[in-house]
Chain A
Amino acid sequence: MNDNPLWTLFSLFAVLSLMAVGGANAAIPEMHRVAVDVMHWMSDKQFADMFAISQLSPGPNVIIVALIGYHVAGLAGASVAIGAMVVPTCVMAYFVARTWDRFKDARWRIAVQAGLVPVSLGLIAASAFVLARAADHNVYAAVITLATAATAYFTRANPLWIFAAAGLLGVARLV
């Protein structure tokens, strides 16, 4: 094993990206284990803060790997981490998508596609549940979750307004 932290970041996230079936949040426990317990790059609290910052930032959740990379090795670390996490799987997704479209009338493809949808939905529902459980640590937080869900389900209003209101409740120390 090479001592260069960039190499460590690269190998960690390249491997993780191929294991992360079901999204970046599924890979969080493994990132925590390596960053905190194995490499001692940061404390437990620092890791939790980075997770919160990645939630506060817009964009896909996978962006947390850039924060870890930045903490370890600055801008170079951030670039290496996000590149390792994103590029291999994107190349794979690109070629699978092309092959996939060639077989669009094949019976096996129709069955695979129809079969994957309910599994996928169940897993997303599970992330929603886990995130809500983690976030709703008091009554105000639970009300925010429910109000956001109802507004987003029944209207086409831009949810950013609710997010702004939720942030203000945070400033008022209610959440």
Chain B
Amino acid sequence: MADSSANRPAPPRVPTQPTLLELLAAFTQVSVAAFGGALPWSRRMIVERKRWMTNDEFNETFALSQFLPGPNTINFSVVFGSRFGGAAGAAVALLGLVGPPLVIVIILGALYERYGDIETLGHILAGIAAAAAGLLVASVAKMAAPLFTRRWNAAPLIAILAFVGVALMHWPLPYMFLALSPLSIALAWFKR
């Protein structure tokens, strides 16, 4: 899936193909580490550690997962898994991503139902939430950096519009998505 990189030199990397077992292991590791959302951890595993995808391939696959309805990291695991291992790959990646956290969260939920209000827990949650937000900021910065230095030049503008609309103007996300996507796709179409 190196299609869109045809117009620039391919970045040097060792092409690796994960096996089903590696897929399961990778997504299980992502899921048990993934505090504050799975995106930063998926990117760290797939792009930085395993080098199964380049930054661009990851961005494109993640963008497709986001365009599909439903939780986007879940979609991502299915799209990613099916690319490397068909239906079995998709199932294995999904199982790794959802299985372990499901068990953990149900245990926590059961404890919460029993021991409800513990103040220290709230403070711990607050500290971790602040760190999780910072981790997501770093991931966005890494994913977006190439956008501002090459590709078609309307891209940063579209990204900034989406950010301002949702983060600052609080416009409903589905509307922003439906309004900006056709515009952005049309710009990409005529650019080529």
Contacts and interface: CB of A to CB of B under 8 A. Distances in A.
Interface residues of B, number: 106
B54 interface: no
Interface in B160-187: 160-163, 165-167, 173-174, 176-177, 180-181, 184-187
A121 to B, nearest CB: 5
Interface residues of A, number: 104
Contact of A170 (B126, B136, B152): B126
Nearest to A57: B105
Nearest to A106: B3
Interface string B41-69: 00010001000000000011011111111
Interface string B112-127: 1100100010111111
Given A101-B83, A116-B181, A132-B134, A58 B40 contact: no
Nearest to A109: B3
Interface string A113-129: 11111111111111111
Q: Secondary structure of the A side of the interface?
A: helix
Contacts of B122: 52
A63 interface: yes
A88 B78 CA distance: 12
Q: Secondary structure of the B side of the interface?
A: helix
B64 A100 contact: yes
Given A113-B63, A124-B143, A166-B128, A118 B79 contact: no
21 contacts: A21-B174, A22-B72, A50-B112, A56-B128, A57-B35, A58-B104, A59-B34, A60-B34, A60-B98, A93-B78, A94-B90, A98-B82, A114-B60, A123-B162, A126-B167, A141-B127, A149-B134, A152-B135, A162-B131, A163-B131, A173-B123
Interface of A: 17-26, 49-50, 52-63, 66-67, 70-71, 75, 78, 82, 85-86, 88-90, 92-94, 96-98, 100-101, 104-105, 107-108, 110-132, 134-137, 140-142, 144-153, 156, 158-160, 162-163, 165-171, 173-175
Q: Which 4 pairs of residues, A with B, have the shortest CB-CB distance?
A: A59-B101, A122-B162, A89-B70, A148-B134
